[in-house]
């Protein structure tokens, strides 16, 4: 069940690729028939400020030597001058008999949850409500630790479903939030393109209200499920995550009360009156979506009567272009072009200042913080509010 089938249009996040299969727990099939896995990400008690990174994000433990029988390791044998005492083991046919290393954790040790075939059914709203009320009560003692984030996600998806995976850009932005908790304390935050909701969940450990937005009922239900799974982190901190529909290609918010994940009038008013920060993680991989993102940022920020700060994390991805016959970063280059256009915009309503944020903040989650990861800060200042403040002074 942990095997993934790759096709020509399959995309797989490095976060999932570099983690052992024992941490990919298949729980169910979503309404689109895609396998849903559950992974755990531990927040380190002591942040890693030395730039070190790892790939085992689930348990935060160092890999132990596979030798559990009290024998010495090959390195210790070499130091003790015992390399000549190694005896080659052959089977009855004269072939080399290789002793396999034991599993790090077996099912009997309780390191991995049992996955029963009865779980493998397509889920809908009713099924997810049943899971919320029944299954999670059983896992409360083993899974609901204050420093473990549980995320349900899919793997090896087509490009249009990459939001259902966890990406390094989300982990980078989560690190930044955890290192700047005082900055976001008590704030109202809007996340665009939230995907699995990981960043919104981390933000809710310090912010007051987080509007976690994306498109597609299946993705929003997955996000809502993850918010429920991590209430043990957000409720004690007093934060609230509200999963809402927000389409960058539309000019208005969905307020139809008959639709799931729609906005109430009170929430719309709160969004426009009180949003302090807008965040987005790894959402710039398609030029049309990037254009929609920046149009949405401009539309929202120019409608606010107060200043707002935007943080965007992304991974610069190299691809071979047939048009250029060279390796390039076309999606990243388009993102930089949009940043430049936004900063140069002069419409008398809003002023934008763009800054690159150095990645010298502490690392709280285990992942590979590669040099292609970037974090950008956009400060949107309302010229009307600045003029009002100037007149009052």
Query: Using one digit for the tens of pLDDT, what is the confidence trace for 35-77?
Result: 899 988 989 876 665 445 544 444 444 433 333 344 444 444 4
Split at pLDDT 50, 70, 90, the class of 216 is very high
| 342 neighbors 298 (Cβ within 8 angstroms) | yes
Q: Which of 1-15, 106-120, 183-197, 299-313 has the lowest mean pLDDT?
A: 106-120
Give the pLDDT of residue 385: 63
Please report whether residue 374 resides in a domain.
yes
What is the layout of strands, in order, in the sheet containing 148-153? 25-29, 35-42, 148-153
The residues, ordered by sequence, that sit 6+ positions from 62 with a Cβ below 8 Å of its Cβ are: none
Please report whether residue 386 resides in a domain.
yes
Structurally, the chain folds into a number of domains equal to 1
CATH of the domain at 218: 3.40.50.150
Give the pLDDT of residue 78: 43
Please report whether residue 83 resides in a domain.
no
Query: What are the φ/ψ torsions at residue 252 (nearest 5 degrees)?
Result: -130, 160
Please report whether residue 377 resides in a domain.
yes
- Strands 25-29 and 35-42, how do they pair? antiparallel
Q: What count of Cα atoms within 13 Å lies in the side-chain half-sphere of residue 11?
A: 14
Local structure of 132: helix, strand or coil: helix
Q: What is the mean pLDDT of the chain?
A: 79
Please say if the pLDDT value at position 4 is more than 60: no
Q: Structure tokens of 148? A: 């473990």
Q: Which of 149, 132, 157, 166 is nearest to 35 (CA)?
A: 157
Please report whether residue 222 resides in a domain.
yes
Whole-prediction pTM: 0.76
Please report whether residue 332 resides in a domain.
yes
Domain with 250, as residue range(s), is: 165-391
Q: At what angle do helices 217-229 and 125-133 cross, to 10 degrees?
A: 0
Give the pLDDT of residue 56: 44
Please report whether residue 236 resides in a domain.
yes
Please report whether residue 169 resides in a domain.
yes
């Amino acid at each position: 069940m942990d095997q993934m089938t790759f096709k020509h249009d399959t995309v797989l996040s490095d976060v999932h690729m570099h983690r052992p299969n024992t941490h990919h727990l298949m729980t169910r099939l979503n309404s689109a028939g895609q396998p849903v896995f559950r992974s755990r990400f531990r927040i380190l008690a002591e942040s890693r400020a030395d730039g070190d990174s790892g790939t085992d994000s689930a348990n935060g433990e160092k890999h132990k030597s596979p030798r559990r029988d009290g024998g010495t390791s090959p390195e210790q044998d070499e130091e003790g001058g015992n390399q000549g005492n190694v005896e080659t083991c052959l089977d009855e046919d004269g072939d080399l008999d290789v002793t396999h290393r034991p599993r790090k954790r077996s099912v009997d040790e309780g390191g991995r949850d049992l996955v029963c075939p009865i779980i493998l059914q397509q889920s809908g709203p009713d099924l997810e409500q049943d899971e919320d009320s029944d299954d999670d009560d059983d896992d409360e003692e083993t899974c609901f630790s204050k420093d473990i984030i549980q995320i349900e996600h899919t793997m090896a998806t087509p490009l249009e479903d990459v939001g259902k995976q966890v990406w390094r850009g989300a982990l980078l932005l989560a690190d930044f939030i955890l290192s700047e908790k005082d900055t976001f304390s008590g704030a109202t935050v809007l996340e665009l393109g939230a995907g699995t909701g990981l960043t919104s969940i981390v933000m809710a450990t310090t912010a007051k209200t987080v509007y976690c937005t994306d498109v597609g009922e299946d993705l929003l239900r997955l996000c809502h499920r993850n918010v429920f799974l991590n209430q043990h982190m957000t409720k004690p901190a007093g934060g609230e995550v509200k999963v809402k529909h927000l389409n960058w290609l539309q000019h208005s918010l969905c307020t139809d009360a008959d639709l799931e994940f729609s906005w109430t009038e009170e929430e719309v008013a709160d969004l426009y009156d009180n949003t302090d920060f807008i965040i987005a993680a790894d959402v710039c991989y398609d030029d049309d979506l990037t254009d929609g993102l920046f149009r949405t940022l401009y539309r929202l920020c120019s409608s606010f009567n107060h200043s707002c700060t935007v943080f965007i994390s992304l991974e610069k991805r190299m691809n071979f272009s047939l048009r250029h016959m060279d390796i390039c970063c076309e999606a990243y280059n388009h993102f930089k072009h949009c940043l430049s256009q936004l900063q140069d915009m002069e419409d008398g309503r809003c002023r934008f200042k763009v800054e690159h944020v150095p990645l010298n903040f502490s690392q709280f989650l285990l992942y590979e913080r590669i040099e292609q990861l970037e974090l950008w800060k956009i400060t949107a200042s309302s010229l009307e509010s600045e003029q009002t403040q100037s007149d009052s002074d």
